[in-house]
Structure 1
């Protein structure tokens, strides 16, 4: 068995290896072990569509410069929407020179279906007359043992999403290298769907 320091180092290396994965969740030790297990179970249920998506805290960013000493992974995500009413999104996800393609359909906040598709099929969707897209560069990083995602939208704004159930405005301070404007967690204008259908000039407030 490893020592405490060795265990911490292994945890850190494992976390770095999974940085950038769309289903990365960091479960901290702020609760007892039984509650921690329940939190893990809930997140699994969300990811497989058995429970509604967890609302993650999201903030509008004024400026951000992530230091080179902070472990980070950059992912580019293009989401195509064919209808403003139906929550069906076609996704191209690019990381380290490789891309994957998928279609997700939501019923409310529940994941209804998920399908991997080919690059050719993605192109078919992208040229449909009704298609609108949202492109963002996500810089995923770990700071103070918590997972953050800095999202730079083609529409012109930058947001910070906090992974997990914790609120950075309370017990977990914001990274000092990011200047926050306001909380936009419940503002649908700043969702990916909202970005796709909004004029860029509407997103600066």
Structure 2
């Protein structure tokens, strides 16, 4: 085909019109190339993975993560830790419940289903999951704050429980594709490796009503759920190469790195929790930007003398989140493990019936702030409380620093009296006791360590350090 320059004057009118028409077609084709690819609104109500922006000049982020992995990998506790961490930074956090658990808790057993029923159930499960997630995604889009959306498993997890042939048939029948389901729908995938793979001594089915898998099956499901997400551009595997506490810190660190939040040294493996007694509360104007929360703690009756159970209600402007924490004694020499579970208001009210009358309810105002890339929580104890808590102010942080290096990171505007890390007189468990410390048998004492070594005591995990 012969191409002619537009400036050529030796062309007839017919050629000029045809050339002009061809240029219009090419222009439209080029404009279409520049348009973003349209996606199914059912799968992705906001195409692409760019973080959402407000209408103004300031930027707002909506970040969607999936917590996945085999049974007993730490997803429940990890969700709770992520939620608390980002709420303390002022983010709005939405937690999308696991759709499979919701449906299976209604009496469904795969062993009772025919092949056709099982296929249809999985198909409806995915449809339900997509709709539930989209509801939270739209809420995140309309939020005025930065928003983290934590999905307890994602759409691709369903492929771990169905044959490849049936999965491809289901994808084709619903016009789904892996690019939309896996790559474009979520910003980051975090696979928490099952305890059945590398931490077998800690694998249990006791804390999950819908879990019945043995170690071998759990290990197999762990591999399958990981394989389902291979190909996602931001896929992080959080394995069992460290103890559980460090595993949770690595989870938070992985999200912070992708979002672009500078966490300093708070989540290093050598980082430890530190607690300080503060004399007085300065004026609000002395603080850097902060978030204040009302916090209420209730200790519950526990199953054994070495097991602690408590409820925490934490909120702003009469909007609350609820956490149930169980702290168990050392297992196989590893640090004492805390299992944290997010609760509904109804579950919280039901568990309140198990309050331990040996303890006062603890009321605090918690102020969270960042300074020198160091994250701090300042707990101001409030009445009603035991007289020993009157006027008490405690500052907490995680750090690997000590001595003069630590002093350089501490808030200069606070009048810090002394460090009280590991001091039983400042344990929330002991502070809440109704009886006098000299007569009660419930008073907690730290495990013996090297004299004067708070670090050695902290590493045992038996110091009652109330982290929520």
C-alpha displacement at 1:140, in angstroms?
0.5
Structure 1 residue 23 corresponds to structure 2 residue 85: yes
1:187/1:69 Cα in 2 relative to 1: closer, same or farther (>3 Å)?
A: closer
Contact kept, 8 Å, 1:89 with 1:105, in 2: the verdict is yes
**Could you say which residue in structure 1 is the equivalent of 2:138?**
none
Q: In structure 1, list runs of 5 or more residues that go unmatched.
A: 1-12, 15-20, 27-40
**Could you say which residue in structure 2 is the equivalent of 1:58?**
275
Residue by residue over 1:84-127, the C-alpha shift from the partner in whole angstroms, topping out at 9 and shown as x without a partner, is 8321111111124310112111213212x332222233233335
Residue by residue over 1:55-93, the C-alpha shift from the partner in whole angstroms, topping out at 9 and shown as x without a partner, is 411101101314366110011221211248321111111
Measure, in 1, the Cα distance between the counterparts of 2:400 and 2:434: 28
Structure 1 residue 99 corresponds to structure 2 residue 335: no
Contact kept, 8 Å, 2:366 with 2:380, in 1: the verdict is yes
Q: Larger % of strand: which?
A: 1
C-alpha displacement at 1:176, in angstroms?
1.9
TM-score, length-scaled by structure 1: 0.65
1:69/1:89 Cα in 2 relative to 1: closer, same or farther (>3 Å)?
A: closer
Instruction: Show the 5 A alignment for 1:26-175.
Output: 45-46=247-248, 55-65=272-282, 66-67=284-285, 70-83=288-301, 85=305, 86-108=307-329, 109-111=336-338, 113-128=339-354, 130-131=356-357, 132=359, 133-154=361-382, 155-156=389-390, 157-167=392-402, 170-171=405-406, 172-175=408-411
C-alpha displacement at 1:44, in angstroms?
5.2
Q: How many residues are treated as equivalent by the alignment?
A: 166
Measure, in 1, the Cα distance between the counterparts of 2:420 and 2:320: 29
Q: Identify the match of residue 195 of structure 1 among 420, 428, 431.
A: 431
Residue by residue over 1:123-178, the C-alpha shift from the partner in whole angstroms, topping out at 9 and shown as x without a partner, is 33335462432221110011122111111112320011123433475343431211
| Greater C-alpha radius of gyration | 2
Measure, in 1, the Cα distance between the counterparts of 2:317 and 2:404: 32
1:145/1:115 Cα in 2 relative to 1: closer, same or farther (>3 Å)?
A: closer
Contact kept, 8 Å, 2:308 with 2:327, in 1: the verdict is yes
1:64/1:169 Cα in 2 relative to 1: closer, same or farther (>3 Å)?
A: farther
Measure, in 1, the Cα distance between the counterparts of 2:430 and 2:301: 12
Structure 1 residue 186 corresponds to structure 2 residue 387: no
- Aligned to 2:432, what secondary structure does the other structure show? helix
Contact kept, 8 Å, 1:64 with 1:177, in 2: the verdict is no
C-alpha displacement at 1:192, in angstroms?
2.2
Measure, in 2, the Cα distance between the counterparts of 1:189 and 1:77: 20
Contact kept, 8 Å, 1:57 with 1:161, in 2: the verdict is yes
